[in-house]
């Protein structure tokens, strides 16, 4: 399968840009560290799995979600 020319040029543009970057590499590392903290560390500590800790079976989980959606919708 032949890759279209514009995709090859686009890939080489970004590859060469990242290769020649000096300050940007450290900034990208900071961005990746912040994303890791936001999506992994904060999720573990601030977003516990409420349904698995409070309900035993799938039916009770589904009923709880259904009732929460209905009550939120009515109010």
| Token code pair at residue 72 | 């939120």
Structural domains of the chain, count:
1
**Predicted local confidence at residue 57, as pLDDT:** 93
What pLDDT digit, counting tens, does each position of 6-54 carry?
999 999 998 888 888 888 888 889 999 999 998 888 888 887 788 888 9
Exposed, middle or buried by CB within 10 Å (0-12, 13-18, 19+), for 61?
Answer: middle
Model pTM? Answer: 0.47
What is 11-23 written as a DSSP string?
HHHHHHHHHS-SH
What is the torsion angle, in degrees rounded to the nearest 10, for the CA atoms of residue 54, residue 55, residue 61 and residue 67? -60
What pLDDT digit, counting tens, does each position of 34-45 carry?
999 988 888 888
Expressed as residue numbers, the domain containing 39 is 5-74
Tell me the three state secondary structure of residue 28: helix
């Amino acid at each position: 399968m032949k890759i279209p020319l514009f995709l090859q040029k686009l890939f080489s543009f970004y590859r060469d840009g990242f290769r020649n970057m000096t300050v940007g590499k450290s900034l990208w590392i900071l961005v990746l560290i912040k994303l890791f903290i936001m999506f992994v560390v904060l999720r573990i500590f601030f977003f516990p799995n409420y349904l698995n800790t409070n309900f035993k079976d799938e039916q009770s989980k589904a009923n709880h979600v259904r009732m929460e959606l209905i009550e939120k919708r009515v109010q």
